């Protein structure tokens, strides 16, 4: 069993990623409840840059293979925003509810449909090797929040081809189609390939 730190303290994301990687010979640790974790400043201008910053900072602190990820919502009518600012859209320590209210306020000036996508970049770093992957899911932002599953903007996000928001889908269903599932399934394959090549 190999250990990887998932460089996140976000409960919703940790649960989803734990679920996606669960079947493999990988034990996933996270930053939840780790007081010694260094502060990560997401100073990148792309999701991939931020994912790599997270992986590198946490690797340097613990010297254990790390997966960093960065994700967010990109809305067409907002020029791709809130993008890398998704978590802090309504302010530095904004709650999901505050971010959702801010999003609805910004979109009130535009006609529907509010086409949008969730994007996730994931990066693995073990001190030598970098592996990266990215996933996207298309959909639109609706006017009224629906559902209690998931986190973040899920109550407002209707994936293309679905009548339920990602907060109304079960975790199993969301994990079949989500940006995070696409990125992490791809990254998982790359990691397992890398490990098997190194064992030869």
By CB atoms closer than 10 A (0-12, 13-18, 19+), residue 51 is buried
Options 35, 69, 70, 126, the catalytic residue: 70
Question: What whole-number distance in Å separates Cα of residue 119 and Cα of residue 135?
Answer: 6
| Nearest Cα residue to 134 out of 192, 41, 72, 82 | 72
Residue 145 Cα distances to 12, 156, 169, 189, angstroms: 18, 5, 13, 35
CB of 86 to ligand IMP, least distance (A): 3
Rounded to 5 degrees, what angle do the CA atoms 40, 9, 89 make? 70
Q: How many residues bind ligand IMP (CB under 6 A)?
A: 17
- Whether 35 is a known active-site residue: answer no
184 binds ligand IMP (CB under 6 A): no
x/- contact string, 136-155, with ligand IMP (CB under 6 A)? --------------xxxxx-
The residue of the chain with the least Cβ separation from ligand IMP equals 152
Residue with Cβ nearer ligand IMP (102 or 194): 102
User: Cβ of 20: how many Cβ atoms within 10 Å?
Assistant: 21
Instruction: Transcribe 80-112 into DSSP letters.
Output: T-BGGGGGGTTSTT--HHHHHHHHHHHHTTSPS
Using CB under 6 A, pick the residue from 5, 10, 65, 139 that binds ligand IMP.
10
Tokens standing for residue 166:
């990602």
Nearer to ligand IMP, 86 or 145 (CB): 86
Q: Which is nearer to ligand IMP, 4 or 122 (CB)?
A: 122
Enumerate the β-bridge partners of residue 137. 118
Q: Are 180 and 69 in contact (CB under 8 A)?
A: yes
- For ligand IMP, give the closer residue by CB, 26 or 141: 141
- Using CB under 6 A as the binding rule, the residues of this chain from 14 to 73 that contact ligand IMP are 70-73
Q: Which is nearer to ligand IMP, 114 or 180 (CB)?
A: 180
**Residues in 97-116 at the binding interface with ligand IMP, rule: CB under 6 A:** 99
Q: Which residues are catalytic?
A: 70
Give the interface with ligand IMP as residue ranges (CB under 6 A). Answer: 10, 70-73, 86-87, 99, 118, 150-154, 166, 178, 180
């Amino acid at each position: 069993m190999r250990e990887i730190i998932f460089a996140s303290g976000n409960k919703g994301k940790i649960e989803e990623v734990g679920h996606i990687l669960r079947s493999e010979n990988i034990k996933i640790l996270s930053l939840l409840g780790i007081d010694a974790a260094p502060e990560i400043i997401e100073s990148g201008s792309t999701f991939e840059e931020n994912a790599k910053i997270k992986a590198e900072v946490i690797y340097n602190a613990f010297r254990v293979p790390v997966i960093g990820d960065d994700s967010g919502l990109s809305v067409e009518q907002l020029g791709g925003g809130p993008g890398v600012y998704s978590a802090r859209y309504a302010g530095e320590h904004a709650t999901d509810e505050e971010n959702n209210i801010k999003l609805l306020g910004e979109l009130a000036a535009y006609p529907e449909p509010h086409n949008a996508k969730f994007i996730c970049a994931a990066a693995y770093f073990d001190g030598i090797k970098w592996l990266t992957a990215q996933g996207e899911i298309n959909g639109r932002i609706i006017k009224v929040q629906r559902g209690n599953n998931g986190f973040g903007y899920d109550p407002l996000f209707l994936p293309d081809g679905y009548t339920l928001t990602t907060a109304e889908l079960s975790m199993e269903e969301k994990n079949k189609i989500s940006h995070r599932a696409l990125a992490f399934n791809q990254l998982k394959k790359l990691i397992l390939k890398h490990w098997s090549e190194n064992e030869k």
